[in-house]
Structure 1
Amino acid sequence: MRIALLAHVRQPIRQPFLGGMEAHGWYLAEGLAARGHEVVLFASGDSDPRFTLDPVLPVHYEAVFPWAEHRGKPELIAHVDAGYAAACDRIARGGFDVVHNNSLHRFPLEPRRTAATPTVTSLHVPPYDALHYFVTASPGPTHRLTVTSARQLAAWWPQGAPPEASVLHNAIDPAAWPFVAQGNGEAVWCGRITPNKGPHLAALAARKAGIPLTLFGAIEDPDYWGTAVEPLLGDGIRYGGHLDGPALARELGQASVFLFTPCWDEPFGLVAIEAMACGLPVAAFDEGAAAEVVGEAGCLAPAGDVEALARAIDTARAIPRTVARHRVETHFARDRWLDRCEALYAEVCAGARVTRAA
């Protein structure tokens, strides 16, 4: 199939990933190409050059309109709108069999566009006002929607999801996150360093549990880092930097437990399954989709409860590492995910044939 992958453009689709959406887009492009599909990645122009790129914007918009300064500003909205409008027009003229839309933008959801090119839209966030109407008005024979967890399906459609909407869990290639049979007794955390990811709470819980902790990830919010996280460094808490996939996998595999501390309605938690693939059981806040992702491979604490998370660390460390690896292999392996993506593409293409015939 000739597939257009339409990405979010806040950050580039390249390693080291800034977050789960960037990782999702990269893994999808790589996996579909490996299966013989002709893939064109519509993303920021500074994304991974190994892919066939058709830039939505010349560079990711965070480089031009920094988040802390321009969040929601009209000039940022106009900049992004212009990029997506032109990209959607190129897709319509490009002879694509299907679009996989990860953009979180309203233009690809327009019925005139999904009717012209069958579309699968993946939603990676909880519902929000700017997109909610367009999402709920968009299902149809040539448009399927997916969310990353049952929790998010209920959030987007509290009265019941339409038949065109379904759960498509995120996934990874287990081979890229090698299993390690024995850890070093320490804890690890990774993700975007921002308040809604809660690394400061992970540090406080690790200190209460008496276990060393290393934090990995991009410092997205420098003010938060400087006031809430950096002062906690030392005495067993350290920052290990922002690493690409292979380097992060090596670091994760050495540890004994992964701390997952969402402080918002986390739609999935890709970092958790990366750690689980390496054999790490998880101590997590019961927030968002954490319970759905971690399952039997971890121990949950009430959201925001540092004392309970410290206790969960001890409980989680007793879970065999093989349990964590097995959960990834049976629920979140990339081949299962790609099979499901291809099935969704087939559904919307069949819907397009029926619509044209009618």
Structure 2
Amino acid sequence: MRIALLAHARQPIAQPFMGGMESHSWYLADGLMARGHDVVLFAAGDSDPRFAIDPVVDEHYERTFPWAEHRGSAPLIAHLDAGYAAACDRIAEGGFDVVHNNSLHRFAIEPRRTAVVPTVTSLHVPPYDALHWFVKASATPGHHLTVTSERQMAAWWPDGAPPRASVLHNGIDPAAWPFVATGDGSAVWCGRITPNKGTHLAVAAARMAGVPLTLFGQIEDPDYWHAQVEPLLGGDIRYGGHLHGAALAAEMGRASVFLFTPCWDEPFGLVAIEAMACGLPVAALDMGAAREVIGEAGRFAPANDGAALAEAIGAAMAIPPHVPRDRVDRLFTRDRWLDACEALYHQVQPVPA
């Protein structure tokens, strides 16, 4: 199939990934290409050049509009509207069989556009005002919506989902996250370092539990980092940087437990299954889809409760490493995910007359 993959343009679709959305788009493009599809990635122009890139904007907008300035910014909205309007027009004229839309932009889901090129839209976030009503108005025979968890499905459609909406769990390549049967007794945390990811709670819990902790990820919110995280570093608590996948997998494999600390209605938690593939049980705050995704591979604490999370660390470390790995192999592999994507692409194709 000829597939247009329309990505979010906040960050480049390239390693090291800034977050789950960038990882999702990169691995989707890579996996579909490996299966013989003709894939064009519509994304920021500074994304990974291994892909055929048709730029939505010349460079990712975090560079053009720094994080502290772009929330609600009229110039940014106009910049993105122009980029996505032109990209959607090129898709309509490009002979594509299907669009996989990861953009979180309203233009891609307009019925007049999905009537031209069948579209699968993956929603990676809880409902929010700027997109919520456009999603509800987007139901057409040529448009299928996916969410990453049952929890997210209920958040978007509390009164029941439309027929053309389904749960599509994220998937990873287990070979890229090698299983390690024994760890060194330490904990690891990974993600965007920003308040809604709860980095400070991971540090507090590790200190209470007396467990060494290494943090990995992009410092997205410098003010939060300097005020609430950096002062807590030292001794057995350190920052390990923002790493490419292979280096991050090696670091995870050395540890014995993963800390997952969402402070928002987390739709999935891709970093959790990456850690689980390495054999790490998870000590998690029970927010969003955490329990749904982690299941028997973790132990849970109430939201925002660092003391309870400290207790969960010890309980999680008693879980045998094969339990998290087996859960990933059973539910969250890349092949399972790509099979489901291909099935959806065929499902939205028009029925021959």
Distance in 2 (alpha carbons) for counterparts of 1:98 and 1:138: 16
Q: Percent identity?
A: 76
The offset of 1:86, in angstroms, is: 0.1
Query: Which residue is equivalent to 1:172?
Result: 172
Query: Which residue is equivalent to 1:126?
Result: 126
Distance in 2 (alpha carbons) for counterparts of 1:353 and 1:52: 29
Distance in 1 (alpha carbons) for counterparts of 2:118 and 2:69: 37
Query: Which residue is equivalent to 1:10?
Result: 10
Secondary structure of the residue that 2:57 maps to in structure 1? Answer: coil
Query: Which residue is equivalent to 1:353?
Result: 351
The offset of 1:116, in angstroms, is: 0.2
Gaps (5+ residues) in structure 1? none
Query: Which residue is equivalent to 1:67?
Result: 67
Query: Which residue is equivalent to 1:197?
Result: 197
The offset of 1:103, in angstroms, is: 0.3
Query: Which residue is equivalent to 1:182?
Result: 182
Query: Which residue is equivalent to 2:266?
Result: 266
The offset of 1:276, in angstroms, is: 0.2
Distance in 2 (alpha carbons) for counterparts of 1:187 and 1:297: 15
* RMSD over aligned Cα atoms: 0.6
- 1:78-157 maps to which residues of 2 (within 5 A)? 78-157=78-157
Distance in 1 (alpha carbons) for counterparts of 2:314 and 2:56: 47
Secondary structure of the residue that 2:16 maps to in structure 1? Answer: coil
Secondary structure of the residue that 1:313 maps to in structure 2? Answer: helix
Query: Which residue is equivalent to 1:314?
Result: 314
Alignment deviations for residues 30-76 of structure 1 (CA, whole Å, 9 cap, x no partner): 00000000000000000000001000000000100012112111000
Secondary structure of the residue that 1:214 maps to in structure 2? Answer: strand
Alignment deviations for residues 285-324 of structure 1 (CA, whole Å, 9 cap, x no partner): 0001000110000001001101100000000000000000
One-letter amino acid matched to 1:312? A
Query: Which residue is equivalent to 1:207?
Result: 207
Alignment deviations for residues 334-354 of structure 1 (CA, whole Å, 9 cap, x no partner): 0000000000000001xx235
Distance in 1 (alpha carbons) for counterparts of 2:178 and 2:156: 35
Distance in 2 (alpha carbons) for counterparts of 1:292 and 1:9: 29
Distance in 2 (alpha carbons) for counterparts of 1:28 and 1:300: 30
One-letter amino acid matched to 2:228? A
Alignment deviations for residues 16-39 of structure 1 (CA, whole Å, 9 cap, x no partner): 000000000000000000000000
Query: Which residue is equivalent to 1:158?
Result: 158
One-letter amino acid matched to 2:67? W
Bigger Cα displacement from structure 2, 141-150 vs 65-74: 65-74
Query: Which residue is equivalent to 2:253?
Result: 253
Gaps (5+ residues) in structure 2? none
Distance in 1 (alpha carbons) for counterparts of 2:177 and 2:283: 19
In the alignment of these two chains, the number of paired residues is 353
The offset of 1:140, in angstroms, is: 1.8
Secondary structure of the residue that 1:296 maps to in structure 2? Answer: helix
Query: Which residue is equivalent to 1:227?
Result: 227
One-letter amino acid matched to 2:63? A
Distance in 2 (alpha carbons) for counterparts of 1:228 and 1:333: 35
Q: TM-score, normalised by structure 2?
A: 0.99
Distance in 1 (alpha carbons) for counterparts of 2:139 and 2:5: 19
The offset of 1:235, in angstroms, is: 2.4
